[in-house]
Structure formats: C-alpha cells, structure tokens
Amino acid sequence: SANMDNRSFRLNFEVMLLTVDEAFASQVEQMLLDDFALAHEVSQEESRETRRLQQLGMRIARLISPIL
C-alpha cells in the first residue's frame, strides 16, 4: 500500500506499481512467495545477539539510504 500525498511521496522510499499484465503480475507474485519461503522471523534473542558493529553499519546504511 502507499499513501497518496506529497509528504509521503517525499519521505518514503518505497516503490509502487500498477500493472494490467497478468503474466508479469504472476511472475512478481511468485518471486515474492519464493522470498517469503526463505524468510524467517528474527527473535528477540537473535536481535540481541547481533554484534554492535553490525548494528552500527545498519544505522549508517539507514541514514544514507535516501542517496543510494
């Protein structure tokens, strides 16, 4: 979903797509389902075990993501 207002368009770095090509939509859906099948929930314990350097790297990446 996406919010359709100027503030959201300027602050969010998400992609929105509307297609009428059913074959393409099916391919995208399958790609997402494949990704979801490989995903796993990160528990609080796993989150705590994340090394501090990695956390710092993630924070820096989050800060510079708008210009990447």
pLDDT at 58: 87
pLDDT at 68: 66
CB 4, CB 18: distance < 8 Å: no
In sign, the C-alpha dihedral spanning 38, 44, 53, 11 is positive
Number of other residues whose CB lies within 10 A of the CB of residue 6: 8
pLDDT digits (tens, 9 = 90+) for 34-62: 999 999 998 888 888 888 888 888 899 88
pLDDT at 19: 92
Q: Average pLDDT of 26-37?
A: 96
Q: Cα 11 from chain centroid?
A: 15
Higher pLDDT, 25 or 2: 25
Residue 16: phi and psi, rounded to 5, are -125, 140
